[in-house]
């Protein structure tokens, strides 16, 4: 059989409100052409993120009712810890309200000025939490991982030679931790091979540096290992996951991804001194160590989600449906980051819209047209997100991408076909798309709240940008 069906039936539905282009233009103008400012009710297909947007199963909802809300010693914590430990054999499992809370606690303990944390590619919140302590976040992904059109089965791999050279140059005493982000979200949702995890661990052991995994999309990474790495085709995904974590000394986790829940996370480790420090910090901002920043019911939902996410029918459907979108966009002549990632497809908007220079935000232009044309919301990852410089100028980001992140178990194949059709139509008329200018922006993280307008004339665009920055300085 060619068609890979969704391995679930739908018991409870949420309506999607249909809108037309004229209505969407009004919503968009009211949102100053910033898709983050839209009401989600006005979106038909929401591909802004795969984080916290999963559908929970009937079993997860049933477990929610069994949640024990005791302040201390809740049995829901035991179920949660057992489920985590089945896959990740760490001594200390500390629940947090989401991934970045685990990062904040971890780097408060091990970060600080003069320290370096090495990773294949840090996610934005990981980098921000490291830099907030005065430490430096260093990305050491392999060169192939930086080339959007090149095929490599494990584009998320750490560059082992660079890793060792960096440790030798800066000194072991300045490197409290090496991390591996699996899959590598900021590098296109690309996986890391088991061999690369082993080699990274070997270097860490040689120099006595702990290895932590940013585990958000661990099950998707394990599926890629099963599909692509010699020797793993017959190994159950659960066993692959257990092997992946056997090489690590701890992990940070956003359960909003591969634990199939809407909120949650954890910090795990073997080191008891660090764990004690972490629990002390946890109590300050998150809560008592048996609930972290969560309710007992959230812990129950995570425990069930962890059983469901390693089921191979689920992973087969999950990764195939992302690949299905990628293959059809490629067939339609739309350039994407290849191979397709696990949780998202990244369109290379700079390449697709060569008539719109990077400083006219080709990614934003494409994302806006996707909304106007078909009510699809996606996220620009390019010059809008990374181009602003501290001195008030801006420069082109390395790439101008648009991320189509696929929520887990939410959309069916016909929803994805609709996205493919919409993008095919947009691609046929792409010469008509034009650039945007920023009319207002905040000092930091401008992509969340900046205001945009279509560029009418080039001299005015430059003047408008200067005014927008001057405004933010006031
Ligand atoms: N690490 C990675 C690799 C992530 O992708 C994220 C979140 C986090 C850490 C932080 O977790 O959101 O629970 O605090 N990524 C989301 C995204 C926001 O849209 O890619 P969090």
The answer, yes or no, to whether any atom of ligand 1 lies below 6 A from the CB of 187, is no
Q: Would you state the pLDDT for residue 391? A: 85
CA nearest 178: which of 239, 221, 115, 270?
A: 115
Q: What is the mean pLDDT of residues 316-331?
A: 97
Peptide bond into 228 cis (omega under 30): no
Q: Would you state the pLDDT for residue 470? A: 67
Under DSSP, is residue 243 helix (H, G, I), strand (E, B) or coil?
helix
| Spatial contact of 406 and 321, defined as CB atoms under 8 Å apart | yes
Instruction: Using the mean position of ligand 1's atoms as its centre, give its distance from the Cα of residue 25 in Å.
Output: 30
For the CA of 379, the closest atom of ligand 1 is 19
The answer, yes or no, to whether any atom of ligand 1 lies below 6 A from the CB of 189, is no
Residue 278 has pLDDT above 90, yes or no: yes
Q: Which residue has the higher pLDDT, 252 or 2?
A: 252
Q: Would you state the pLDDT for residue 471? A: 66
Angle among Cα 262, 302, 83 to the nearest 5 degrees reads: 160
Per DSSP, helices labelled H in 88-123 are 99-110
Residue 144 has pLDDT above 90, yes or no: yes
Average pLDDT taken over every residue of the chain = 95
| Spatial contact of 309 and 260, defined as CB atoms under 8 Å apart | yes
Q: Would you state the pLDDT for residue 472? A: 62
For ligand 1, atom 15: residue with the closest CA? 51
Percentage, residues of the chain above pLDDT 70: 96
Q: Give backbone dihedrals phi and psi of 158, rounded to 5 degrees, phi first.
A: -75, 140
The answer, yes or no, to whether any atom of ligand 1 lies below 6 A from the CB of 100, is yes
Sheet holding 344-348, edge to edge: 344-348, 401-405, 379-381
CATH class of 21-50+313-473: alpha beta
126-140 confidence digits (pLDDT tens)? 999 999 999 999 999
Instruction: Using the mean position of ligand 1's atoms as its centre, give its distance from the Cα of residue 455 in Å.
Output: 33
Q: What is the mean pLDDT of residues 386-394?
A: 88
Q: What is the mean pLDDT of residues 154-179?
A: 98
The answer, yes or no, to whether any atom of ligand 1 lies below 6 A from the CB of 42, is no
For the CA of 98, the closest atom of ligand 1 is 13
16-50 confidence digits (pLDDT tens)? 999 999 999 999 999 999 999 999 999 999 999 99
Does the domain at residues 58-308 carry the CATH identifier 3.30.70.20?
no
Beta-bridge partner residues of 206: none
How many CB atoms neighbour CB 62 within 10 A?
A: 13
Match 């914590």 to its residue by tokens: 77
Tokens of 437: 């200018």
Domain map of the chain by residue range?
21-50+313-473, 58-308
């Amino acid at each position: 059989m060619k068609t890979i069906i969704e391995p679930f039936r739908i018991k409870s539905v949420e309506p999607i409100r249909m809108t037309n282009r004229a209505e969407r233009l009004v919503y968009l103008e009211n949102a100053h052409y910033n898709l983050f400012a839209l009401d989600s009710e006005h979106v038909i297909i929401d591909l802004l993120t795969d984080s916290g947007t999963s559908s929970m199963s009937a079993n997860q909802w049933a477990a929610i009712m069994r949640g024990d809300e005791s302040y201390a010693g809740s049995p829901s914590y035991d179920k949660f810890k057992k489920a985590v430990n089945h896959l990740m054999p760490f001594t200390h499992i500390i629940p947090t309200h989401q991934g970045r809370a685990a990062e904040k606690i971890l780097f408060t303990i091990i970060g600080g000025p003069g320290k370096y944390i090495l990773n294949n590619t840090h996610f934005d919140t990981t980098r921000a939490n490291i830099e907030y302590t005065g430490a430096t976040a260093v990305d050491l992904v392999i060169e192939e991982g930086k080339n959007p059109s090149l095929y490599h089965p494990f584009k998320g791999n750490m560059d082992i030679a660079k890793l060792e050279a960096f440790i030798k140059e800066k000194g072991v005493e300045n490197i409290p931790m090496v991390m591996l982000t699996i899959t590598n979200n900021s590098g296109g949702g690309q996986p890391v091979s088991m061999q690369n995890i082993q080699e990274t661990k070997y270097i860490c052991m040689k120099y006595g540096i702990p290895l932590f995994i940013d585990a958000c999309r661990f099950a998707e990474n394990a599926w890629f290992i099963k599909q692509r790495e010699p020797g793993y085709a017959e190994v159950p995904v659960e066993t692959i996951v257990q092997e992946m974590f056997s090489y690590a000394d701890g992990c940070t986790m956003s359960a909003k991804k591969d634990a199939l829940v809407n909120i949650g996370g954890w910090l795990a480790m073997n080191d008891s001194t660090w764990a004690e420090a972490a629990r002390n910090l946890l109590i300050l901002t998150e809560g008592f160590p048996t609930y972290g920043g969560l309710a007992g019911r959230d812990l129950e939902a995570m425990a069930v989600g962890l059983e469901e996410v390693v089921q191979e029918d689920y992973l087969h459907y999950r990764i195939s449906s992302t690949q299905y979108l990628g293959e059809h966009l490629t067939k339609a002549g739309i350039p994407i980051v290849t191979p397709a990632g696990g949780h998202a497809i990244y369109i290379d908007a700079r390449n697709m819209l060569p008539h719109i220079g990077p400083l006219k935000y080709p990614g934003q232009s494409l994302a806006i047209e996707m909304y106007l044309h078909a009510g699809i919301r996606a996220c620009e990852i390019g010059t809008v997100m990374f181009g602003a410089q501290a001195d008030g100028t801006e420069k082109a980001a390395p790439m101008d991408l648009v991320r189509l992140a696929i929520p887990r178990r939410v959309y069916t194949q016909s929803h994805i076909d609709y996205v493919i059709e919409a993008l095919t139509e947009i691609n046929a008329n792409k010469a008509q798309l034009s650039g945007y200018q920023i009319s207002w922006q905040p000092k930091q993280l401008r992509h969340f709240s900046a205001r945009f307008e279509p560029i009418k004339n080039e001299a005015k665009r430059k003047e408008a940008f200067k005014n927008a920055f001057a405004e933010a300085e006031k």
